[in-house]
Amino acid sequence: MARRTQAQLAETRQALIASGKQLFSDKGFARTQVAEIAQNAGVGMSAFYGQFEDKSQLFLHIINEVFTELHSGVMQVRRGVNLQMPLESIMATQQIYVLIFETLMKHKEITLSVFRSGFSAIPGLEVLYWQICDAVAAALSQDYQHAESAGLLKIGSHRDMSDAMIGMVQHLGYRMVLQGTPTPIEAAKMCTQYTIGSLIMSIPKDKLQHLMPLWAAIPADVI
């Protein structure tokens, strides 16, 4: 057999990732076989094991990829927003939640697999899960710091604040992929309502007089 070039190996790897993404999204982790992933990618089993240690490793790679894709989508929304404009920020928050719930829905079976397989069934999943939570918390913490330095908010624990958000997304997302309700938009609205509500609760009491006009300005279809 001819020695494979770097380019060919990279191509094989990409085909396996695409194949895994499709099969895991369609059937979930447990019901997808390595042989199927390889066949669907047009390669043999040995090509699979040349790239990934096992099915779990590919699954983790894909979760990471989905998260990275989502993260860059979120960044794109944020770049377009003037965070100094409260109403713009609220609309952007909701847009970001929509993006998150749509991504969970797009990879419905992957989302379900994470819940159903549990964190111990897939080696490395619990560690990756908390790495993702850490990344989300770090990004949110920057926003909180800006708002705190500007005297707009006084948030106790940044980490608890962002973990509460992650929890909402998870649980609403779990029901969404299981039952089809809430829709991504409904779930996003509820999360926006909680998020903005909790931020309102973090406004120093001497800044409260600014709140009413902002509130009155929120269009009825936002939250």
Residues of the shown chain interacting with a copy of itself in the complex, contacts defined by CB under 8 A: 30, 115-121, 126, 133, 156-157, 159-161, 163-164, 166-172, 175, 181-182, 186-187, 189-191, 193-194, 196-202, 205, 208, 212, 215-216, 223
* In the complex, least distance from residue 78 CB atom to a copy of itself, rounded to whole angstroms: 22
Nearer to a copy of itself, 18 or 168 (CB): 168
Q: Could you give the 3-state DSSP secondary structure of residue 202? A: coil
Distances 65 to 14, 186, 189, 206 between C-alpha atoms, Å: 12, 26, 26, 44
Q: Is 72 exposed, middle or buried (0-12, 13-18, 19+ CB in 10 A)?
A: exposed
Nearer to a copy of itself, 44 or 118 (CB): 118
* In the complex, least distance from residue 105 CB atom to a copy of itself, rounded to whole angstroms: 15
Q: Which residue has the tokens 């590919």?
A: 58
* In the complex, least distance from residue 63 CB atom to a copy of itself, rounded to whole angstroms: 15
* In the complex, least distance from residue 4 CB atom to a copy of itself, rounded to whole angstroms: 37
Please name which of 70, 80, 204 lies closest in space to residue 139, comparing C-alpha atoms: 70
Nearer to a copy of itself, 1 or 201 (CB): 201
Nearer to a copy of itself, 53 or 126 (CB): 126
Nearer to a copy of itself, 58 or 172 (CB): 172
CB neighbours (10 Å) of residue 175? 13
* In the complex, least distance from residue 194 CB atom to a copy of itself, rounded to whole angstroms: 4
Nearer to a copy of itself, 47 or 196 (CB): 196
Q: Is 182 exposed, middle or buried (0-12, 13-18, 19+ CB in 10 A)?
A: middle
* In the complex, least distance from residue 12 CB atom to a copy of itself, rounded to whole angstroms: 31
Please name which of 93, 32, 98, 96 lies closest in space to residue 59, comparing C-alpha atoms: 32
Q: Is the peptide bond before 213 cis (omega within 30 degrees of 0)?
A: no
